[in-house]
Homo-oligomer: A and B are copies of this chain.
Amino acid sequence: MTTINPLEDRVVIEVLDAEEITAGGIVLPNSAQEKPQRGKVKAIGPGRLLKNGKRADLSVKKGDEVFFGRYAGTEVSVDDVEYKILRENEILARRS
């Protein structure tokens, strides 16, 4: 199986479907233009290199569900699964 090892402060995200279910259970697909996307963190890089030679801890970890802008990052397709590679500062929030 293929593993993607992101460099620096990058994060590999498995993209989650953007559908929304209303209170009444009706599926409302988001309009592609204005909505962000959600995904699950699959792998994180070693962190950005600091001037003192250490690396900064990332603020997300493997398994976190996160929000990001729909056009953020770069899409990568590996073994039929769609991933995004984002820099840490393209991640807007964690969902809990």
Contacts and interface: CB of A to CB of B under 8 A. Distances in A.
A37 B29 CA distance: 24
Q: Specify which of A3, A5, A6, A45 lies most central, judged by the most chain B CB atoms within 10 Å of its CB.
A: A5
Interface residues of A, number: 37
Interface of A: 2-8, 10, 12, 20, 22-23, 30, 34-36, 45, 49, 56, 59-60, 67, 69, 74-78, 80, 85, 89, 91-96
Copies in the complex: 7
Contact of A92 (B7, B77, B89): B7
Given A10-B93, A22-B80, A69-B74, 20 more contacts: A2-B95, A3-B96, A4-B67, A7-B60, A7-B92, A7-B94, A10-B92, A12-B93, A20-B77, A30-B77, A35-B75, A35-B77, A36-B74, A36-B75, A36-B85, A67-B74, A74-B92, A76-B92, A76-B93, A78-B95
